Amino acid sequence: MSYQVLARKWRPRNFEQMVGQEHVLRALTNALDSGRLHHAFLFTGTRGVGKTTLARILAKSLNCETGISSHPCGECQTCREIDDGRYVDLIEVDAASRTKVEDTRELLDNVQYAPTRGRYKVYLVDEVHMLSNHSFNALLKTLEEPPPHVKFLLATTDPQKLPVTILSRCLQFNLKRLHPDLISEYLAKLLQAENITFDAPALKHLARAADGSMRDALSLLDQAIAFGGGQLNEADVKQMLGTIEQTHIYTLLEQLAVRDAEGLMATIRQLNMQSPDHVAVLAELLSTLHYLAVLQQVPTAYDESMGDQERLLQLSQQLSPEDVQLFYQIGVLGRRDLPYAPDPASGVEMVLLRMLAFRPQTGGQSLSAQTPSTPTTRTTPAAVSQATPAKQNTPPATNVVKETVMPAASSATASTAMKSTDDSWTQLVPQLQLSGILQQFAMNCAWHDRAGNKINLILEPSCENLLNKERIDRLQEALQNYYGQPVVLSVEVGKVASETPAQHAQREKQEQLDAATQAIESDANVQKIVDTFGAKINTNTIQPVK
């Protein structure tokens, strides 16, 4: 018998087997058990979080031979055929390969016909955002008023590309990225069932590498089992993933804290000898800096997933909060620019050297004061920094600092710029260059206040369905790019005391329309026509001139 990959073998068959996504499961189970079934469901989220799996379980719940419920039997012929992917009334469509309007029309031509065997004919359209505009237009009417025997289940990783007309016709469920702890717990349960020996730390590395995707985690697990010859241990998993020991990250930060340039270079060379994934090295460094920032503000917030508690707490005392924030910003910018470096190793090296060079001096000492003041003969390029007098080196060093630190360390200027009001928030949103649902989300928020680098917004209650962690993260990223410094964004639903940008735009539009209407109604020529012919002005057709 051929081997079946773990991602397929362990695909959930019912809602109880799903990992995470409790907010979606609760809504679906209540709808199924109460019989309040919408005709169109849209599942959104990143890859591998369970969109297609949930859709198939929902199709099974709708057509199970024991009746509609949130607990399909899994034993009847219908349930087995859906699990095997051969149920005649579950039509799965890959929109990425069927983007033409002719394909959509051909699909919709069969909607009117009753299901062959089941209660419902279920259309599962995966990656629906790949459909063309003409295909969406062809789908609109049927999606709004389908026959009673038809259900549409749509799945996409990019809901922003869907027209608003499609979104408004569906119940939308946003599936979250899975926490590494959830993933590692599930992998442990799976390996126990498969009778495969494993190290718990190895699973944590796989869970973090999966980046919130259970399918990616299972694929990596398959690869790790093959790499380890049928078992899982931490050393093999690290080697396979190209990750590095956490202790190396602690060592780098300790050397940055005491300005040990020679030690820093030695650690970097030691790291390079292991041929690590340099993107992962920077990501690990940024994660550790994030943990330090959290522990500096809330020491009791430590949990085991952060790493070595003793060394983290020690580092949080060695480095000032300002240093941690500066290092984090330099790391973020360095990670962004890593593809432009001559090679990844030198890119990471430059990021660390930049942290060392631009860390502010203590005791009021200026950056230029680091330059040695004893001149010697200039004989080799390596000796230039020691051979040039301080007076000659000071201006170039100052220029480099001004040019390089400006995007990373202009916290005072950015802090002033971040002071905002409701009016300035209305002016700021268009400058963030948002689009789609994310733009709607920002437009329906109002400025509340700011404390340090934390910005608090209030979301209009009528738009509560737009609130999810992914949109908060993306809006936070847009604000960070705009201000050029780290930002922590918090969004709560509540009564908005002032206008949101959306309400401001609507009010301006209405004012312009009222002004245009008044101008037409008061026009002497128009009044003459009305009086002469008993005419009426159709105000619904009036549009203000932009």
The amino acid occupying position 365 is Q
- Evaluate if residue 403 carries a pLDDT over 50: no
Q: What topology does CATH give the domain 246-360+397-409? A: Zinc Finger, Delta Prime; domain 3 (1.20.272)
SS3 label, residue 305: helix
Instruction: Give the range among 109-123, 253-267, 348-362, 409-423 with minimum mean pLDDT.
Output: 409-423
Query: What is the mean pLDDT of the segment spanning 204-209?
Result: 86
pLDDT band at 367 (very low <50, low <70, confident <90, very high): very low
- Please name the residues in contact with 306: beta carbons below 8 A apart, sequence gap of 6 or more: 291, 295, 312
Distance CA 170, CA 161 (A): 15
CA–CA separation, 257 and 445 (whole Å): 40
Considering the chain, what percentage of its residues have pLDDT values greater than 90? Answer: 37
> Residue 282: which of 216, 220, 357, 333 has the closest Cα?
333
Q: 377: pLDDT confidence band, cut at 50, 70 and 90? A: very low
Domain ranges of the chain: 6-174, 180-241, 246-360+397-409, 415-499, 505-541
131 contacts 159 by C-beta, under 8 angstroms: no
Q: Which of 79-83, 400-404, 485-489, 515-519 has the lowest mean pLDDT?
A: 400-404
Mean pLDDT of all residues in 503-517: 88
pLDDT value of residue 406:
44
pLDDT band for 423, please (50, 70, 90 cuts): low
Q: Hey, what CATH topology would domain 6-174 get?
A: Rossmann fold (3.40.50)
Helical H segments across 194-319, by residue range? 200-209, 214-227, 234-241, 246-257, 261-273, 278-297, 309-318
Which long-range CB contacts under 8 A does 338-341 form with residues at least 24 apart? 338/278, 338/279, 338/282
- Which pLDDT value is given to residue 221? 92
Most confident segment among 195-209, 326-340, 377-391, 515-529: 326-340
66 φ/ψ sector (left φ>0, alpha ψ -120 to 50, else beta): alpha
Structure tokens at 117: 């065997």
Residue bearing the bigger pLDDT, 100 or 475: 475
Q: What are phi and psi of 153, to 5 degrees?
A: -120, 110
Q: Mapping DSSP to helix (H, G, I), strand (E, B) and coil, where does residue 492 land?
A: strand
Topology agreement, domain 6-174 and domain 415-499: no
Across the chain, mean pLDDT equals: 83
Write out pLDDT tens, residues 427-446. Answer: 899 999 888 788 888 999 99
Name the residue type at position 34.
S
Give 367: exposed, middle or buried? Use CB within 10 Å, 0-12, 13-18, 19+.
Answer: middle
Residue 82 main-chain phi, psi, to 5 deg:
-65, -40
Least confident of 197-211, 324-338, 531-545: 531-545
Q: How many CB atoms lie within 10 A of CB 168?
A: 9
Q: What percentage of the chain reaches a pLDDT higher than 70?
A: 88
In this predicted structure, which of 208-222, 238-252, 358-372 has the lowest mean pLDDT? 358-372
**Which of these, 243, 338, 249, 245, lies nearest to 290 by C-alpha position?**
249
Q: Which of 295, 285, 298 is nearest to 253 (CA)?
A: 285
- 226: how many CB neighbours lie within 10 A of its CB? 10
Interval 250-263 mean pLDDT: 91
Predicted local distance difference test score (pLDDT) of residue 437: 80
Confidence (pLDDT) at 526? 86
Hey, which CATH number is domain 180-241, 1.10.1300.10, 1.10.8.60, 3.30.750.24, 3.30.70.890? 1.10.8.60
CATH number for the domain running over 415-499: 3.30.300.150
Give the least confident one: 25-34, 232-241, 366-375. 366-375
Q: What is the per-residue pLDDT for 546?
A: 62
Give the residue-averaged pLDDT of 496-505: 86
Residue 371 is predicted with a pLDDT of: 36
Question: What digits encode the pLDDT tens for the residues 47-80?
Answer: 899 999 999 999 999 999 999 999 999 899 999 9
Q: Express each pLDDT in 138-194 by its tens digit.
A: 888 888 888 999 999 999 999 999 999 999 999 999 999 998 889 999 999 999 999
What is d(CA 56, CA 72) in angstroms, rounded to the nearest whole number? 11
- Expressed in angstroms, the distance from the first to the final Cα of the chain is 70
Tell whether the model's pLDDT for residue 398 goes beyond 50: no
